[in-house]
Amino acid sequence: MAATQPVGVPAAAPQPAPVAAIPNYTNVRNEWAPGDPVPPGYHPETQMRTGLVIAGSVTLGASWLTLGVLPGAIVVSACTSLDSSECTVAGGVLMIPVLGPFLTMPVIASYTDIDGAAIALLTVDGLIQSSGLAMLIAGIVAEQDVLVRDTNIGGVDVKFQPLVAADANGTRVGITGSF
């Protein structure tokens, strides 16, 4: 049965919809997830995955420099004194990032007997460089949702940035800002 409102009794005012409580974050950037309420003073953005970009860059760069450029330069300089063009080509190909180790194998095999240890070392080097490149690309392409502090505070656009200055009196480090 439907209840009816008695005559002369005012109807109760409708209650406002409950407002979702904004959680008290201790570390907004790490605790907030998409779909959670956005705390005042912040706005959501997407950013590249900095950790993957750094890890990929370091892995690719360290492997390429230590197992590609350095040995390649040594091979090229040693082969120049021997007047061996095939040997010089092998050293030059080794200096190509990511593909160099894989391309070096057939070049070396074309003029000398290459042993299993050399093939294994070149394969591992190529795989390390490839994984570093994959992490670098994944970090740039796969963006993540993060909260960023608003720079507009009370209608004033506030920006802070580090300041490093060197002059005759020495070096100074500080923070500068504008509004």
pLDDT confidence band for 158 (50 / 70 / 90): low
Phi, psi of 70 (to 5 degrees): -60, -55
Identify the band that residue 153 occupies on the pLDDT scale cut at 50, 70 and 90: low
pLDDT band at 132 (very low <50, low <70, confident <90, very high): very high
For residues 140 and 57, what is the distance between their CA atoms, to the nearest angstrom?
11
Does residue 25 contact residue 39 with C-beta atoms inside 8 Å? yes
- Indicate if the pLDDT at residue 1 is higher than 60: no
Confidence of residue 15 (pLDDT cuts 50, 70, 90): low
Q: Is the CB of residue 68 less than 8 Å from the CB of residue 94?
A: yes
- Residue 166: pLDDT band by 50, 70, 90 thresholds? confident
- In sign, the C-alpha dihedral spanning 80, 82, 84, 89 is negative
pLDDT at residue 122 greater than cutoff 80: yes
pLDDT at residue 165 above 80?
no
Asked whether the CA dihedral 158, 164, 167, 171 is positive or negative, the reply is positive
Enter the pTM of the model.
0.64
Q: How confident is the model at residue 14 (pLDDT cuts 50, 70, 90)?
A: low
Domain ranges for the chain: 50-141
- Residue of 93, 123, 130 lying closest to 111 (CA atoms): 93
Give the rounded percent of residues in the chain with a pLDDT score beyond 90.
27
For residue 129, the Cα-to-chain-centroid distance in whole angstroms is 16
CA distance 24 to 39: 8
For 134-178, the DSSP string reads HHHHHHHHS-EEEEEE-SEETTEE-EEEEEEEEETTEEEEEEEEE
Q: How long is the chain? A: 179
Report how far residue 177's alpha carbon sits from residue 158's, in angstroms, rounded to the nearest whole number. Answer: 7
Mean local confidence (pLDDT), 52-76: 92
Q: How would residue 36 be classed by pLDDT, with cut points 50, 70 and 90?
A: confident
Nearest to 44 by CA among 149, 153, 151, 155: 149
**Bridge partners of 178?**
159
* Range with lowest mean pLDDT among 5-19, 64-78, 144-158, 164-178: 5-19
Q: Which of 16-30, 36-50, 117-131 has the lowest mean pLDDT?
A: 16-30
How many CA atoms lie less than 13 Å away from 179 in the CB half-sphere?
7
